[in-house]
Amino acid sequence: MLDLHGSNSNEISIPLQEVNSWPTKEADALEFTRQHLPSEYGEISGRYFSFSEGHSWYSFKREILLLPQKQAIEIHQHGWWKQLIMIHKGHAHIGFWVLGIALGLSLLFSLISGVVLAYSNPRYRTMANRYIAFGAALTLILFFVPL
């Protein structure tokens, strides 16, 4: 919608010379990358993603890419904004997921209690019905109309 991606705070490229065959399967790519990734960059962790140009293991803090076309392994360390986007997408620690659920439930409770209070007083029922209908219509319009 707004095309926000964030940026990397650091990008490291490790060239791979004289490689005869490149792996195509996830397990083979993981083993290949583990063999060629220097130990100073730590263990490969995170979720696996395969795309036309290679293989990727991404997590909240960084992404490790095996790129046969560039004949390299690249390490992208995520910047602050990209880490926030990773939290939003659900790729961060489980604590962020629990916090998001708790905040969503608190908003739902506030919404339900507002409707109950509005319907408890007969003077506010008509206005509450109008605003609930307006909110529902606006939500449906924004859901189905591309921006």
Two tokens, residue 93? 């620690």
pLDDT of residue 107 exceeding 90, the answer is: yes
Residue 2 has a pLDDT of 61
Q: Enumerate the domain spans of the chain.
A: 8-82, 93-144
Residues in CB range of 22: below 8 A, 6 or more apart: 32, 68
Question: pLDDT grade, residue 108 (50/70/90)?
Answer: very high
CB 14 within 8 A of CB 38: yes
Amino acid identity at 12: I
Two tokens, residue 137? 């219509």
Q: What is the pLDDT of residues 51-78, one digit of tens each?
A: 888 999 988 889 999 999 899 999 999 9
Residue 1 has a pLDDT of 47
Higher-pLDDT residue of 46, 74: 74
How far is CA 65 from each of CA 18, 39, 72, 80, rounded to the nearest angstrom? 18, 16, 8, 20
Q: What percent of the chain has pLDDT over 90?
A: 54
Q: What is the pLDDT of residues 2-41, one digit of tens each?
A: 667 778 888 999 999 888 888 989 999 999 999 999 889 8
67 pairs with which residues across the strands? 72
Residue 48 has a pLDDT of 92
Strands (E) located in the chain: 8-15, 47-51, 54-58, 62-67, 72-78
